[in-house]
Chains A and B, each alone.
Chain A
Amino acid sequence: MASIDMGNGYQIDFDDANKFVKALQDQKGRLNDSLQKVNRTANVEPPGDDDYSGSYVGYGVNPMVKQHDDWNTKKQQELQDLIDKITAAVDNYKKTEHNNTMRA
């Protein structure tokens, strides 16, 4: 059975490619939901009314949130790149099969 080389020794069968792409899309969706949740909960109340509590939120929480933001976005891009790679390989395989069938 034909398969797609995923790199690092991993291969998937063409018949399973659509299921794998769907799983990757779902995972990307979950990452997006996580990023969205961070955005709606970024409104962090300072633990107290003193200046230090305000500084904690301003200088402590925001950089951590930003790091998560960057990491999450990068992972989503990597997943999309993988989805594109698999989709392109499947399309290419189908075209080749189609052309071979036409010649035969």
Chain B
Amino acid sequence: MRLALVLAAGTVLGAVALGGCSTSKPGTPDSTTAAPSSTTSAVPNPLDIGKIQQSPCDAFTSAELASYMGAVDNTSTDASDGKPTCNWHPTDGHKPNISISVYPDLGGPEGMYAAKAQYNFFEKAGPINGYPAVHASTGDSQTGVCQTIVSISDKAGFGIYVSNTTPSDPNYRTMCTVSDQIAQLLVGKLPKVS
């Protein structure tokens, strides 16, 4: 057992040292060095988002979202890019829009952090109910818009996107506080992987 741990540690250190020369894509496990996921899972207690992936608008009821966006006027869906999404639009245009996107191939926390260079605003968030999370946005900051991305297994994750163009919204400059709360709500509802 000790020998196996030493070999595993050596493999990881070697992979880190050679990282600058690697030709593999970030977040893509190398079959020659990857250990079984049952012993090296980066996300303990993985959650199952399969049901939401099939039907993203079932993630929340209108009543659950009412305290964040008031009454829901309508919803729209999109899965054209392989990331099933539901958008909830408010009746009052001064309230936030809320969306969920399922990321079936997020790549675990490593894949999630690797996306940093491709967002204009990106920061590590506090764990969402114990699960690794980041704040990401194409804007400069979390003013008016924020997406909380949560890694809920070694593969999948989801993003809660909240946006509002009305500066008088009390959360306008800190939209991540809202997306974090809604992400917590969803994590609390998802079943564990059986």
Contacts and interface: CB of A to CB of B under 8 A. Distances in A.
Interface in A24-63: 25, 28-30, 32-33, 35-45, 49, 54, 57-58, 61-62
B117 A58 contact: yes
B88 to A, nearest CB: 10
B142 interface: no
Interface residues of B, number: 35
Contacts of B115: 42-43
19 contacts: A25-B93, A29-B73, A32-B163, A35-B145, A39-B147, A39-B159, A40-B159, A40-B161, A42-B136, A42-B138, A43-B115, A43-B118, A43-B119, A44-B118, A57-B118, A58-B118, A66-B138, A83-B93, A84-B93
Interface residues of A, number: 33
Contacts of B103: 40
Contact of A76 (B83, B101, B137, B165): B165
Contacts of A44: 118
Contacts of B83: 40-41
